Copies of this chain bind each other. A is one copy, B any other.
Amino acid sequence: MTLKTFLENPAAWLDGKGPAAEIVISSRLRLARNIVRMPFTCWAKEKYLREIISLIKDAIKNNAFLPNATIVDLEQADSLIRQFLVERHLISPEHAKSKIASVVIGDKESVNIMVNEEDHLRIQTFSSGLQLNAAWDVISKIDDRMSEKIEYAFSSEWGYLTACPTNVGTGLRASVMIHLPALSITKQIGKILQAVSHLGLAIRGLYGEGTESSGNLFQISNQVTLGRQEEEILDNVEKTTQKIIHEEQSAREQILKQSRVQIEDRVYRAMALLCSARIISAQEVMELLSAVRLGVGLNLLNIPIKILNELLISVQPAHIQILVEDQQSPIEKDMVRARVVQKKIMEGMKNV
């Protein structure tokens, strides 16, 4: 794996072309699967962990849905590479702590398989905007193809067996990454998120369970995987997301009506700072990008969503660390981040 190749080729799901892509950054599906007659990762000895990796490497060979896949052995990956993979959503923060584990990364990062995360396989797909059903077509085909080569742990009574009971059944988690600045500004976000959790959905930070929300971005996903059909799960997440989009759009109309100038002020100041700062932290970029993204949604600014999406990833700490020397100070990293932001925005403005 060359980091440079990844850096220069943003993931396809960041292209901003999917449905409602200005509000819903991405749709992600994840299937938890385990190999029959193998101990679960958490108590598997090294021998088994290596065997699992080997079985899965064999299984993906010649898989039409995973052409040109890259396999990264986490054993060989230092903490920087692990953090880099987390920032790209290719591995989870938990997976990044594993010793004997790997990740299979499909072309343009649309598909990936975490090996020896909590389950032996965590197959994931990422798509732009809100398109869970299209993503389901892709992931179920990959899953079918994998099941031809690997016998999954499956019970006719319970469905797919997983390390944690919350994933038993379909093993499916459907989630969307959604940007809700107007609901935050109008202070309705708490109420909305509470309503969402009453509908059996979970709200998480940007990098999954236990991570913080940043830049008004939230991950919304199903909690329950058992006793429901996959279609039912997808349908529930999709419909709830549609409702949240509707609420966000109402809140946008409300703020435009009640405080248009304050919003313009926030948007134009954010854009000016992104273009002018010489030193900028990841946290500040996330906040400014949120205001700029809202500005695009309100037709106050004209910047491709793709540019804003790519920045969400490329300003993260490990992405910046790769561009600087080892010993450089936090200020020097914040300087490089400012240049990354400005280069990307210039690139985006050229094509407007």
Query: Chain A: residues with CB nearer than 8 A to chain B?
Result: 261-262, 264-265, 268-269, 271-273, 275-279, 331, 335, 338
Q: A331-B261, A331-B262 are in contact. Are A278 and B273 (CB under 8 A)?
A: no
Cross-interface CB contact of A271 among B261, B262, B276, cutoff 8 Å: B276
Q: Please, which residues of chain B bring their CB within 8 A of the CB of A335?
A: 261
Q: Please, which residues of chain B bring their CB within 8 A of the CB of A273?
A: 269, 272-273
What are 12 pairs between A and B in contact, CB < 8 Å? A261-B279, A262-B331, A264-B278, A265-B277, A265-B279, A265-B338, A268-B276, A268-B278, A269-B276, A272-B273, A272-B276, A272-B277
Q: Please, which residues of chain B bring their CB within 8 A of the CB of A272?
A: 272-273, 275-277
What is the minimal beta-carbon distance from A4 to any residue of chain B, in angstroms? Answer: 26
What is the minimal beta-carbon distance from A299 to any residue of chain B, in angstroms? Answer: 15
Cross-interface CB contact of A277 among B268, B276, B331, cutoff 8 Å: B268
Closest residue of chain B to A338 (Cβ to Cβ) is B265
Q: Please, which residues of chain B bring their CB within 8 A of the CB of A276?
A: 268-269, 271-272
Count chain B CB atoms within 10 A of each CB in A261, A275, A335 and give the residue with the most.
A261
Q: When chains A and B are docked, how far (Å) is the Cα of A126 from the Cα of B87? A: 60
A262 near B275 (CB under 8 angstroms)? no
Q: Please, which residues of chain B bring their CB within 8 A of the CB of A338?
A: 265
What is the minimal beta-carbon distance from A292 to any residue of chain B, in angstroms? Answer: 12
Q: Which 7 A-B residue pairings sit nearest by Cβ, starting from the closest? A: A272-B276, A272-B272, A265-B278, A265-B279, A268-B276, A264-B278, A261-B278
Q: Please, which residues of chain B bring their CB within 8 A of the CB of A265?
A: 277-279, 338
Q: Please, which residues of chain B bring their CB within 8 A of the CB of A264?
A: 278
Q: Please, which residues of chain B bring their CB within 8 A of the CB of A275?
A: 272
Q: When chains A and B are docked, how far (Å) is the Cα of A262 from the Cα of B332? A: 10
Q: When chains A and B are docked, how far (Å) is the Cα of A54 from the Cα of B275? A: 59
Q: Please, which residues of chain B bring their CB within 8 A of the CB of A271?
A: 276
Q: When chains A and B are docked, how far (Å) is the Cα of A275 from the Cα of B277? A: 14
B262 near A269 (CB under 8 angstroms)? no
Q: Please, which residues of chain B bring their CB within 8 A of the CB of A268?
A: 276-278
Q: When chains A and B are docked, how far (Å) is the Cα of A338 from the Cα of B278? A: 24
What is the minimal beta-carbon distance from A343 to any residue of chain B, in angstroms? Answer: 16
Q: When chains A and B are docked, how far (Å) is the Cα of A282 from the Cα of B115? A: 58
